[in-house]
Structure 1
Amino acid sequence: MTPDSNPSIDGLKEVRGLRSFIVLPKHYYPEPTMGFKESMVNFKMSQYLRIFVVEGCEFEGGKLPSKVGELIHLRYLSFRNSYVRELPKSICSLPYLQTLDLRVWYSVAIRLPNVICKMKRLKHLFLDPKIEVIGGGKLRLGGLQELETLDEISSETTCIADIPTLISLQNMCVSVHDVDVDNMSIVLNNKNSQLRESWLSVHSCDFSSEKGREVLNHGLMSPSLVSLEIW
């Protein structure tokens, strides 16, 4: 796919004082339906944007423009079902961002710099289990003390040991793969009093030991547990 193969938006680079920029497609499948080029928006002129939503679009080169970091007043940022392969490091320069939706097009594994933990005002984070961390390692979330929604992370790509530090967490969806019982207890026995709803999917974890059964039993008694899948 190339951005030139889809219809695009023109003329928005001249718009001043914009507070919301929202692009929604008529449908998401089988592929993004609109092209998005960096030249469409004058990011410096649009510095007062609070909402920036570009869904179901194909970004030029598969990369989000690094100038998005100039939108310092952003509260809401979404690229759901868009063709985006990489997020710039400048994303951490958004001091007031509260919602970040990175559930990109299903065939894309988006590459992220390990800077989301620096976005201290973040309240709602929507990810995809297929993320890749630039430079290797796992995505860190420790320090996001205002985070209320975490959907959806995988232990293969995200550090689940950071979950207990998310003291404001109310809703979470976690997929856990091939971890020992001690690590599993971090998720199942989360003692966060703010947690209201949790959806857990567990793959290849052995609960046959006495300690494993104890961890599982405590987890099943959690008032926040909505769904538990064990594979």
Structure 2
Amino acid sequence: MDRRLLGALAAVMVGLWLYPSGARAETEVDVALVLAVDVSRSMDPDEQDLQRQGFMEAFRSPQVHEAIRNGMVGRIIVTYVEWSGVEYQNVIVPWTIIEGPEGALKFADGLSSNPIGRVRRTSISGAIDFGVKLLEQTGVEPIRKVIDISGDGPNSSGRGVVAARDEAVAKGITINGLPIMLKRPSGFGDMEHLDLYYKNCVIGGEGSFIVPVRDRQQFADAIRTKIIREIAALPAKPMIQTVQAEPSVSCAEGEQRMYRWDRN
């Protein structure tokens, strides 16, 4: 037998011995998902409650349970983080493996039993950087890595959001967005075209998408839709990514506002 063929067979046998298929299967998941949720003071308490309830309803829904079951592995790992300023990221529910309705319901119950924080400023870049660190601590082998950012304003604290986004994407991480647009912009920290800001400045990576929320009645449905798409790795529909008018938006707008505010 050819020596090269013998060498290849030996390498395969060593690989099977070192990494038995059963052992790898136990540590593999379809997706490692960081749910990073804005709790800055620009969010009204009722909006924060709607947001939390939306995630709880999503993980209690049969559609999400089916999406998990139909994955290549049939198992995901997820954590829920609240964030605000650059120094505030709080893990509400730690990394949890979900491979059936029971695990999903337990995850939802974990959300219901924790109070909601409310802190100043908005650091999307800090949330992304924190999500990257968490994704290095899963203890499993995810097929995909996703950070799910929801918020109601631009980055106004910490380093530039584009730099944070690009570094995460370079590590093979996908960032999706849920821009919350329930109120008309009325002052500092607000942005009229937040959906475009998220599309151009926040999301990135393979298959990334946004699901804007413009009505309170849409909140739960929007969150469930986004979670299902992230779990199932479905291609983004044009209706989710496209907006009718695309005025110019600056990725540094919130950061420039905060700089002027601090100087004054």
- Bigger-Rg structure (1/2): 2
Superposition TM-score, scaled by structure 1 size: 0.28
Superposition TM-score, scaled by structure 2 size: 0.26
More strand by share: 1
1 or 2 for the larger relative contact order (CA 8 Å, sep ≥6)? Answer: 2
More helix by share: 2
